[in-house]
Amino acid sequence: MKIIYTLQHPQSQHHLNGMVGSWTDWDLSELGVQQAQRIALNLKAELAGKSVRLLSSDLKRAWHTAEIVGEALEIKAEKEPRLRERYLGEAVGQSVAWLKANLLKPEITIDDRLFPSAQTRREQAEQLGSFWDQLLQQDDDLLILISHGDTLGMLQALWLKLEADALNSIQFAGQAGGVSCLWERDGKRIVRKFNDLSYLK
């Protein structure tokens, strides 16, 4: 049986300053650090005595979260660039207001490209699909993945083996600091928790 916890990084500076997240390397806010510490302590209590592998996006807001969780669990986090937020091309480093004023077209389908060099959701799904395939073939039974909202929403859809085109009409939307728990048992993929915010308490 494989158990995977996913954690959406808690409050980041870009949640407060009106800037685009994506590949811009924002750190956690002061509140975000406190939230990460509470999440870490709750995970430590829940996973005490178990062998855990911890993978994280290498962007600062996720990696800072991973360092806090890793310290609590007394394990070393591993950087995994494929867990980054979706690349938004020309919008990286810009404000959300700039993004809305300058996008090529609204993102209605998974093939719509917001900016000339931006990644589409289909391209993200293909990238994350290969990541899942590799991860599930490895022997680690208990993992924690720390990433970003859009990326984790895509991972959760792929976990349920949804075809990419299904994402034209559905979306999994979490919140900062939300924890989900995914199980694979007897060939069946199970969602035990989704966007559980109780870890923030």
Whether 131 and 82 have beta carbons less than 8 Å apart is answered as yes
Domain span at residue 144 reads 2-200
SS3 content of the chain, % helix, strand, coil (to 5): 40, 20, 40
Each residue's pLDDT tens digit, 103-143: 998 999 999 999 999 999 999 999 999 999 999 889 989 99
User: 161-192 pLDDT, tens per residue?
Assistant: 999 899 999 999 999 999 999 999 888 999 99
State the Cα–Cα distance between residues 147 and 128, nearest whole angstrom: 12
Q: What is the pTM of this model?
A: 0.96
Q: How many structural domains are present in the chain?
A: 1
**Beta carbons within 10 angstroms of residue 58's beta carbon:** 15
Give the chain's mean pLDDT.
Answer: 96
Task: Round to whole Å and give the CA distance between 193 and 201.
Answer: 16
Q: What is the CATH number of the domain that holds 125?
A: 3.40.50.1240
